Structure 1
Amino acid sequence: MDDRTMKAVLFDRFGGPEVLYTGRVPRPEPAPGEVLVRVRAFSVNGGELAARSGRVRLLTGRRFPQRVGLDFTGEVVALGTGATGVAAGDRVWGIVGRTGFGSAAEYVTVRAERLGRVPDGLDLVAAAALPVATTAVTALRDKAALRPGERLLVRGAAGGVGNAAVQLGKAYGAEVTALARAAGLDFVRALGAHHAVDHRTVTPAELGRFDVVLDTAGTDLRAFRGLLGPGGRMVTVAFDLARPVASLGYIAASAVHGRGRVRFFSGNPRRALFDDLAREVTEGRLRPAVDRVFPLEETAAAHRALEAGGVRGKFVVRVG
């Protein structure tokens, strides 16, 4: 096979998981400051589903073929001029960044500062469940400044960011209430949740008061913001894709109206944060939660499974 090309997951039109296929594209070369990584695994994320379906076409554009894959684990193959901090052969994890997708492939190039070293002894396929956990670290530690003894509510607790937030919330000394589907309640309890609640059986008003609310859904923000006690903080890592203007408008308005503003951010981790993630793993506060592993050629099935709901941790795709 021509080593100037590689396998990658592509789509030529917006639509359901069936539009995805495995094709061949030119193998990238690292530009100055970039690193070429041989991808071993990646996970499936909600943002990719939205991009593939066309719900965020104003951001992704309409030029095809388009790519999927946001995060990855693998080994460093080559460094572009001026790339520092990693060396050929290093086991790394990273996120492609805000410029788009593309880690669903045999190779990916990424800015060197967007990579971190995977802890020794951690399998690269299992490790692919963890790059998005940097979002949970940022949300709880930096945005909410979660303190021991505080009450934390995690919405979407069985998902990729949510399961990490449950683990970290417990490790940081909080009393963790996890909202998830009924099938995921035992899973979040095993992760350390003090209380596990089926989100379909309660209204937000029935949940009580919290010091910190971490939302991964982006809907009903007003109702969940209303659960904040004095000095409470709410962080959301999503917005309502069905009502994006209204959703983002409410987040902005919360800074000046009512009790407790809603802090919103989109994960964009750099090396220091990946180093923090590795420390959380090596010191036993965080472990990867893999629901199921798919081969590259079945990426569409992984998308379909995530859309069906009920994930416990992450769906991971093995490359090669």
Structure 2
Amino acid sequence: MNDRMMKAVLYDRYGGPDVLYLGRVPRPEPAAGEVLVKVHAFSVNGGELAARAGRVRLVTGRKFPQRVGLDFTGEVAASGAGVTRLADGDRVWGVLGRTSGFGSAAEYVTVPAERIGRVPDGLDLVDAAALPVATTAVTALRDKAGLRPGERLLVRGAAGGVGNAAVQLGRAYGAEVTALARAANLDFVRGLGAHQAVDHRIARPGELDRFDVVLDTAGTELRAYRGLLNPGGRMVTIAFDLKRPAASLGYLAASTVHGHGRVRFFSGDPKRAHFDDLARHVVEGKLSPAVDTVFPLEETAAAHRALEAGGVQGKYVVRVA
């Protein structure tokens, strides 16, 4: 077997999960400032589903094959010139940067050393793969919203990857947490620490209470949820409406500048400090991984299919090594 090649999940055209296949590509080599990580696991994220389906083809283009996988856990296999803080065998986690695209659904990945952190001792690397996107929840609640003890927090999409972390962290930060989720997931989000759990299919925005902070992971009905804010309230969203992208992004652009209750939209782009924060939250017991199902690498398409079907409790994780 050619050790310069590796397994990776690819697709040659946009479409449903069935376009994914396990192929072979050249194994990358770390450049200066980078590390080569032997991937143990990664999770499935909504953004890569949209990319694979062709919903953002103006960004992803038409050059194939394309790759999937955004986050990862693994072990350092080699380091490029100038990397001194990491050694071969170190257990690490990370998220590929905005300019890197997808590609962690593979046996190896290269990443700048400043974009990864060490996984806490005692945390299994497969379980840990559910947590890198939790850096988005930390940034949203702590940095973007400035959530304070005693405030009322609404988490929309509370059973998902970012949402479940937001419920746990909101409780840890001293907020009163209301979680919106499917009926089948209400006990799950209560178990994460939600003070109240509400079926999002029954309770419309106009029937909900007022909140100091709203964290949205869906990107739809933003105007209605913004209307739930108390004076001085803050709304943070990490998504926009893919069915109406122009209108959705236009609304976000306008609402970040003026009007009652500013809406802050951002896309997670974590670096070393974010992963240090993540590790500290895990060690302090504020945050635990929530893994719904673990799939083998050759069943990545099944993991995509499951996420598209909805109802996930935490994260779908794919085991590589």
Q: Determine helix, strand or coil for the equivalent of 1:108.
A: strand
Q: Aligned to 1:75, what secondary structure does the other structure show? A: strand
Q: Could you tell me which amino acid in structure 2 is paired with residue 190 of structure 1?
A: G
User: What is the alpha-carbon root mean square deviation over aligned residues?
Assistant: 0.7
Instruction: Kindly indicate whether the alpha-carbon contact (under 8 Å) linking 1:12 and 1:19 is maintained by their aligned counterparts in 2.
Output: yes
Counterparts of 1:287-302 in structure 2, within 5 Å, are: 287-302=288-303
Residues 152-184 of structure 1: CA deviation (Å, up to 9, x unaligned): 000000000000000000000000000000111
Please name the residue that 1:50 is paired with: 50
Counterpart CA distance in 2 for 1:111 and 1:56 is 26
> Compared with structure 1, are the counterparts of its residues 253 and 298 closer, same or farther at alpha carbon in structure 2 (3 Å cutoff)?
same
Uncovered stretches (5+) of structure 2, i.e. residues with no partner: none
Q: Distance between the aligned counterparts of 2:195 and 2:77, measured in 1?
A: 44
Residue 7 of structure 1: aligned partner:
7
SS in 2 for 1:273: helix
**Which residue identity is paired with 1:126?**
D
Letter in 2 for 1:12: D
Q: Percent identity?
A: 83
Residue-by-residue CA offset, 1:274-309 (whole Å, 9 max, x unaligned): 000000000000000000000000000000000000
Q: Cα offset for 1:255?
A: 2.8
- What's the offset of the Cα at 1:313? 0.1
What is aligned with 2:170? 169
Amino acid at match of 1:177: T
2 CA distance for matches of 1:295 and 1:23? 15
Unaligned runs of 5+ in 1: none
- The aligned residue for residue 312 of structure 2 is 311
In 2: Cα distance, 1:15 partner to 1:154 partner: 30
CA distance in 1, matches of 2:108, 2:257: 45
Q: In the aligned structure 1, how far is the partner of 2:247 from the partner of 2:87? A: 46
Q: Secondary structure at the match of 2:224?
A: helix
AA matched with 1:34:
E
Alignment of 1:220 onto 2:225: no
**Structure 2 Cα separation of the partners of residues 22 and 256 of structure 1:** 45
Structure-to-structure mapping, 1:217-296, within 5 angstroms: 217-296=218-297
Q: Deviations over 1:242-279 (max 9, x none)?
A: 11111111111113432011001100000011000000
Code of the residue aligned with 2:122 in structure 1: it is G
**Residue 84 of structure 1 contacts residue 112 of structure 1 at CA under 8 Å; is this kept in 2?**
no
Equivalent residue, structure 2, for 1:113: 114
> How many pairs does the alignment contain?
320
Residue 149 of structure 2 aligns with an amino acid whose one-letter code is: P
Alignment of 1:71-220 (within 5 A): 71-99=71-99, 100-220=101-221
Structure 1 residue 33: deviation in Å? 1.1
**CA 1:84–1:222: 2 relative to 1, 3 Å:** farther
Q: Conserved in 2, the CA contact under 8 Å of 1:33 and 1:84?
A: no
Counterpart residue identity of residue 201, structure 1 = I
Instruction: Give the C-alpha shift of residue 83 in structure 1.
Output: 2.4
| TM-score under structure 1 length normalisation | 0.99
Match for 1:6: what amino acid?
A: M
* Structure 1 Cα separation of the partners of residues 85 and 69 of structure 2: 24
Q: Distance in 1 between matches of 2:205 and 2:146?
A: 23
Q: One-letter code of the match for 2:264?
A: R
AA aligned to 2:35 is V
In 2, Cα distance between equivalents of 1:135 and 1:141: 10
**TM-score for the superposition, normalised by structure 2:** 0.99
How big is the shift at 1:84?
3.7
1:87-128 per-position Cα deviation (integer Å, ceiling 9, x unaligned): 111000001111200000000000111100000000000000
Q: For 1:46 and 1:84, how far apart are their aligned partners in 2? A: 34
1:27-46 to 2 correspondence within 5 Å? 27-46=27-46
Deviations 1:38-73 (A, max 9, x none): 000000000010010000111111100000000000
**2:106 partner amino acid:** A
Aligned partner of 1:108: which letter?
A: V
Residue 319 of structure 1, CA deviation: 0.3
- 1:20 corresponds to 2:20: yes
- SS for the counterpart of 1:248 is helix
Measured in 2, the distance between the counterparts of 1:315 and 1:54 equals 21
Does residue 63 (structure 1) correspond to residue 63 (structure 2)? The answer is yes
